[in-house]
Amino acid sequence: MSAASVEALRAKLIAALDPQSLEVIDEGHLHIGHAGEGSGHFRVRIVSAAFVGKSAIERHRLVYAAVGDLIGRGVHALAIEARPPEAA
């Protein structure tokens, strides 16, 4: 399920934000015993022109808007590192 979730996250982020770089990392193994039993914990590192002129909160909102329908359906927690190209 994690591999499918990684690919689903990647596909949605690519379609919505056309990133210059993108990493989706399954961190479930770091959360064994926590809520969600370790599954569905991901880290997203993304650089996109869509973030130019946006605050950190606005960048996170764009990421969540892109993947929101996956929350609770394979994605339990999402750590986001979102930057515009000039800050990469």
Across the beta sheet with 41-47, the strand order is 21-26, 41-47, 77-83
Q: Is the four-CA dihedral 86, 80, 46, 56 of positive or negative sign? A: negative
| Bridge-based pairing state of the strands 41-47 and 77-83 | parallel
Q: What's the predicted TM-score (pTM) here?
A: 0.84
Q: Based on the structure, what is the number of domains in the chain? A: 1
How much is the average pLDDT of 48-57? Answer: 98
CATH number for the domain spanning 44: value is 3.30.300.90
Residue 16's pLDDT is what?
Answer: 98
| Bridge-based pairing state of the strands 21-26 and 41-47 | antiparallel
Supply the range of the domain harboring residue 48: 2-87
How much is the average pLDDT of 22-42? Answer: 71
Q: Give the pLDDT band of residue 2 (cuts 50, 70, 90).
A: low
Name which residue leads in pLDDT, 30 or 66: 66
